[in-house]
A and B are shown apart, each in its own frame.
Chain A
C-alpha cells in the first residue's frame, strides 16, 4: 500500500459497523489508516467504533474514537473539536452516517421522515458547519458526503428515505444460505437432544467456516464435541474416519461435506451400520440424487433441503407436473433450485420492460417473489440473499410413484428463525 494520506487527519462519522463484518464507515476508517492518515471516528454505538479502532491499531495505525449522536449540534461540535485537539487539525471529513426507513409517502410516518433527514442530511450540515472553520484556517481540507444509488434512480422499492447496500452489486442468492442450513441443523440437534457430536468436515473454506459456526453454537448450548476430522475434497476413503466414529461415544454425526463426498461417506458408513447407533445429519447433505447414489444406507439421514417436489403450493404443483411430463421423474433438488432462481430472474427482467442491465439488477435487488415454488421469497437488497422459509427433512422409504428413497419434509422453519436483521 502506498502512503497517500501520510500526515493527514481524517474524521469518519459512522465508523462502526451495524452488524458483523464490514460497513462503509468501518472500511473507510481502516483504509485511510492503512494509507497513513490519522483517523478520528465516531458512532452512536461506542462498542462498534471501538471495534474499528482495534482493527486499525492491530494493523499499526492511529485512530481515536468518540461516541456521538450526529443529530445533536453540541455533540457534533464537541466531536470536531476533540478531533482537532487530539490530532492537530482536520483534513478530511467523511459524512458517512446514513439510514433508511422503508415505505412510500403514504405509509411512512412524519416522525420517521424527520428522523431519516436528521440522520442523513442534518448531520452533514452540522459536521460541515463545525469543520469548515478549521479547514479555512489550515488553508486546505476536503469534505466527502456519502450518498446512495437510490437517490439517483428508482430502485424499485419504496424508500422515501434511503440506505446504502454493501457487497457485490451483481451477485444474488435465491436459494438457501449455508447459514440458514446450519441454524436448522443446530435446531435439529437440540430437538433431538444430541449430546456428543462427531464432525466430518471437507477441507474447504465454506464447510470449515460452517463447522466453526456450528461448533461454537453447539458447545455454547451444552453439547460436546466427541471428535472432528477434516478430509480432502473428493476424498475416496472414509473407512478410517468411520471406524473412529464407530468407536467413539458420539450420539450424533455432523457432516460438513458436499457433493460426492456425502455419497462416499454414507456408503462406507453404511457398511458398519453407523446410522443404527448414531444420528447422521448435516446442513445440506441429502436429496434424492444423493440417496439414489448411496442406497438404503441413506435412510434416516437428516438434512436441510433446498427444494422438494412435495412442497405444496400452486406454483410448485404446476412446475412438478410440467417436469414430470417432460422427463418422467420428479424434479430433483437441483432442478427445483435452478428453476426457482431462473424463473424469478427472468420474470423480474420481463417486468421491467426495458433492455437495461442496471435496471434489471436494481429491480431484482428489491423484488418480492410471491409465487416461487418454495413459497414467498423476498430479495434482501442489503446482502443480496433471498428471505425465505427453510425446509428440513429426512431420507425415507418412498412408495411409488415416488422414488425408492425419497426425502420427507419434517420441519419448516420460519424466516425470523433463520435470518438476522440487515441493519446498516
Chain B
C-alpha cells in the first residue's frame, strides 16, 4: 500500500486547512468541533485498522474508547498522575482490552465476530454502569477531567488544546502511513485479499490479526483519553455499543480501507449532524437515511469515490499521452 499521489495531495490540503484554521479567528464552537473531529478521526482510524485492513467488523471498539477515557480520568483525578502518564495508560489499556477481546473474537469470524464483540462490549458497559460504580462513578460519570499540563501552557484555551490534538493526530497519521507501506502492512493487505493463500504462504494469520486488533485498540484508547479531556467529563455512554455503531457509520461514509477515509467520514458526520440538527430534531433519522443511501450507492465512501475518479482521470490522461506519442 504505497502512498499514492492522491493521498499526498489530499493530505496536503488537510494540513493546509488544519494549520490555517486557528489564524482565521474562528468561533470557539468551531474550534471545539474540529478538535472533536480530530479525536474521533483517531478513533475511526483505529477502527478502520480492523475494518478496512482486515474486513472484520467489530462492534466492540466503544470499549477501547471508553477504557481509554476512564484510564485518563481515573489516573489524573484519583491517582494524581500527570496527564501524559494517563494518556500512556489509556493507550496501554486500550491495547490490553483489545487483546482480551481478540481471544474470544478471533475464534469465530464474520458475523459472529461482530456479535461477539458486541456482547463483550455490552458487558463492559454494564459493569462500568453499575458494579464498578465506586471506581467509575457509575452512570453519573466522572466530572472535571483534566487538560494536559505541559510547559506551563494553558490547555483550557480551546486553541491550545486544538494544537495539542492536531499534533497527536499528525503523529498518528504518520505512524499509519509508515505502517501501511511496511512489510507488516503488506502482509495485512495479503490477508485481506486472500486469507487462505496468505496462510498457505506461511504467515501466521491469526497472529497478524491479533496484532492488528491490538494496534486498533491502542489507537482507540488514545482517542478515548483525548475525548474525555476535551469534554472534561467521562461517562459510560462512551462504552455503549451504539457508539461503536457511530464509528462504523463514519468510517463507511468516508471510505474504509483508504488513508483519509476515516478522517473525512468523521468530518462529514459531524458537519452533517450540526447542519441537520439546525433544521430538524429528527436529524439522527435523516442521518440514518443518508447512511443507508450511501451504503447502497456509494459503498466506497467519499474518499473511495474520489480516489476512483482521480485514478480514472489519471488513466485517461495516461492513455491520451500514450496515443499522442
Contact = CB atoms under 8 A, between A and B. Distances in A.
A233 B80 contact: no
Contacts of B131: 203
B231 to A, nearest CB: 16
A233 B140 CA distance: 12
Contacts of B129: 233
Contact of A205 (B80, B126, B140): B140
A206 B137 CA distance: 11
Tell me what chain A mostly uses at the interface: helix, strand, loop, or mixed: loop
B299 interface: no
Contacts of B126: 232
A31 to B, nearest CB: 12
Contact of B130 (A1, A206, A233): A233
B139 interface: yes
B241 to A, nearest CB: 14
Nearest to A232: B130
Number of chain A interface residues as a range:
under 10
A213 interface: no
A125 interface: no
A204 B138 contact: yes
Contacts of A206: 140
Contacts of A232: 126, 130
B2 interface: no
Interface string A1-25: 1100000000000000000000000
A1 B140 contact: no
Interface string B137-162: 01110000000000000000000000
A203 B80 contact: no
A141 B80 CA distance: 27
A233 B129 CA distance: 9
Interface string A21-36: 0000000000000000
B197 interface: no
Contacts of B139: 204, 233
Contacts of B130: 203-204, 232-233
Interface string B117-145: 00000000010011101000011100000
Nearest to A2: B80
A173 to B, nearest CB: 14
A203 B139 CA distance: 10
Nearest to B131: A203
Interface in B90-117: none
Contacts of A1: 80
A38 to B, nearest CB: 22
A125 to B, nearest CB: 37
A203 B140 CA distance: 13
A233 B138 CA distance: 11
A230 to B, nearest CB: 9
Interface in A217-270: 232-233
A280 to B, nearest CB: 24
A1 B77 CA distance: 11
Nearest to B133: A205
Interface in A189-212: 203-206
Interface string A354-374: 000000000000000000000
The winner among B80, B130, B133, B139 for most chain A CB atoms within 10 A is B130
17 contacts: A1-B80, A2-B80, A203-B130, A203-B131, A204-B130, A204-B133, A204-B138, A204-B139, A205-B133, A205-B138, A205-B140, A206-B140, A232-B126, A232-B130, A233-B129, A233-B130, A233-B139
Given A232-B130, A233-B139, 15 more contacts: A1-B80, A2-B80, A203-B130, A203-B131, A204-B130, A204-B133, A204-B138, A204-B139, A205-B133, A205-B138, A205-B140, A206-B140, A232-B126, A233-B129, A233-B130
